[in-house]
Amino acid sequence: MSQTLRSAFEERVVAAVREGQDELVALASDLVAFDTTARNVGDPARQEAELQEHLRRRLATLGADVDVWEPEPTGTGNRVVPDGLDFRGRPQLAARLRGAGGGRSLLLNGHIDAVSCEPLDRWASHPLRPEVRDGQLYGRGSCDMKGGIAGMLFALETVTRLGAKLAGDVVFCTNTDEESSGAGSYACAARGVRADAGLCAEPTGFDVWVACRGGVNPVVRTIGRTGHAEMHHPHWREGGPVNAIDKMELVLASLRALREEWGQRAEFEHAYLHKPHVLPTVIKGGEWMVTYPSSCETVLSVVYMPGQVNGDRGGQDVFDEVEAWVKAATDQDDWLAEHPPEWEWPCDIVPAEVPDDAPIVTDTLAAGADVGRPGRISGLDSWHDAAVFTRVAGTPTVSFGPGDLTKAHTVDESVPVADLVDHASAVALMLLRWCGTS
């Protein structure tokens, strides 16, 4: 451990967290055991409500005011969440432990959803029956990010048990739907979840993620005209068929060219993020093996930079550029010029970033170093809930958590027990230092 703890009380708090390792591991294991695997729109709830109730009881014991609610369905046409998503049986949680006054408030956030456990038969142990082996806690969500949620809660419990009276409020918020859309954190921001700054417990390996990219997964569709695939046909203007898959090749070629062009733009250079990209991820088309396909559709991954966001338009400028680039290319084809590709743009997952010198960044790095886990400023090429609280709620939020991101979403997902302990210790220091004590 670093020798830079600032007081005897900080030493007591860190020592108490370390002595409570077994309780911390048990709490993380309890959270992993709830099935909260991500779902598609329309799927039934899993055990989200049971997990949130588990957290609610522990937070209420601390004296926190706890709000657990099911947001209203999103309806259609919402720019930031999927059409028709409902939260039935899948509540959000936001608790406030009020301080004595005069201190800064701190948001502690984590998402309770985890990715699918499949393929189950490849796990060494059941993913929803967590166990510790060789110093690692195994189970789905142990790394991403129930271990981090457990650490934040255990830090708050430890500080409270030792009699610290924080000056600033602590807002503890756990949401659903990070893995699928980001809808949960948007619901929390809409509910009024705010603080002076925030920590999100993504598995950063004790680095501080200050930036992330945004993304969207549009569908582009080319339309053809059916005909017998084994027969000779006249030109389409004379009634002949058109192969929609052939036409999709022109779309994909134009998108490859756009990806290469984006990769050359100096304006997209970023200290912590790679440049934006667009690439196909799912493709399907055709109706029968000897029939000209009448349609072909491709799902794309469009990932863009914080600097490409245009106010309330989010990533719309990026989406407009993608469509315009494809149109310029496909207008050179006589069929596509008259039957242009069709686009569907789902919810826009908007990126954000926090300045390197923001107090939440420097203070978090210091807390990590002071428990023997020095980190660095970094970013996430994907997306995290911290972006919503930063951009939508006005709460500069960074990610800081235990574990290695490369373990997330994998078979035999795990997090080192030592990481859980050190992360909880660092969060405890942040509570004392950021919120202050009376």
For 126-132, what is the mean pLDDT?
A: 97
For 400-417, what is the mean pLDDT?
A: 97
SS3 content of the chain, % helix, strand, coil (to 5): 35, 20, 40
Cβ–Cβ contacts within 10 Å for residue 218, how many? 17
On whether both 201 and 220 belong to a single domain, the answer is no
On whether both 237 and 191 belong to a single domain, the answer is no
2 domain-assigned: no
Q: Which residue, 315, 344, 373, sits at the end of a domain?
A: 344
pLDDT band at 232 (very low <50, low <70, confident <90, very high): very high
Quick check: 35 pLDDT over 80? yes
Q: Which of 246, 256, 308, 306 is nearest to 279 (CA)?
A: 256
On whether both 203 and 261 belong to a single domain, the answer is no
On whether both 85 and 187 belong to a single domain, the answer is yes
Q: How far apart are CA 209 and CA 189, in angstroms?
A: 20
CATH number at 123 reads 3.40.630.10
Residue 381 near residue 436, CB atoms below 8 Å: no
For 289-293, what is the mean pLDDT?
A: 97
Query: What's the pLDDT tens digit per position in 155-165?
Result: 999 999 999 99
Q: Look up the domain containing 21 and give its range.
A: 8-211+352-435
Q: Which residue, 325, 344, 363, sits at the end of a domain?
A: 344
251 domain-assigned: yes
Report the DSSP beta bridge partners of residue 343: 220
On whether both 23 and 163 belong to a single domain, the answer is yes
On whether both 100 and 175 belong to a single domain, the answer is yes
On whether both 95 and 238 belong to a single domain, the answer is no
Residue 280 near residue 290, CB atoms below 8 Å: no
Quick check: 432 pLDDT over 80? yes
132 domain-assigned: yes
Quick check: 176 pLDDT over 90? yes
Quick check: 2 pLDDT over 80? no
Q: What is the DSSP letter of 342?
A: E
CATH number at 325 reads 3.30.70.360
For 215-221, what is the mean pLDDT?
A: 95
For 312-334, what is the mean pLDDT?
A: 95
Lowest-pLDDT choice from 53-57, 95-99, 310-314: 310-314
Q: Which residue, 344, 376, 406, sits at the end of a domain?
A: 344
| Contacts of residue 199, Cβ cutoff 8 Å, sequence gap at least 6 | 106, 107, 108, 109, 152, 360, 364, 397, 398, 399, 400, 427, 430
Lowest-pLDDT choice from 63-77, 127-141, 146-160, 399-413: 63-77
On whether both 203 and 225 belong to a single domain, the answer is no
Query: What's the pLDDT tens digit per position in 114-123?
Result: 999 999 999 9
43 domain-assigned: yes
Indicate the number of domains in the chain.
2
Cα→Cα distances 72→43, 79, 190, 290, 438, Å: 16, 16, 11, 47, 39
SS (H, E, C) 371-393: CCCCCCEEEECCCCCHHHHHHCC
Quickly list DSSP for 25-55.
Answer: HHHHHHHHHS--B---TTPPP-SHHHHHHHH
On whether both 278 and 180 belong to a single domain, the answer is no
pLDDT band at 95 (very low <50, low <70, confident <90, very high): very high
- The per-residue pLDDT for 93 is 98
On whether both 242 and 318 belong to a single domain, the answer is yes
pLDDT band at 75 (very low <50, low <70, confident <90, very high): low
Total residue length of the chain: 438
Quick check: 1 pLDDT over 80? no
For 122-148, what is the mean pLDDT?
A: 97
100 domain-assigned: yes
Quick check: 336 pLDDT over 50? yes
pLDDT band at 311 (very low <50, low <70, confident <90, very high): confident
On whether both 305 and 380 belong to a single domain, the answer is no
On whether both 92 and 26 belong to a single domain, the answer is yes
Mean predicted lDDT score pLDDT of the chain: 95
Quick check: 411 pLDDT over 90? yes
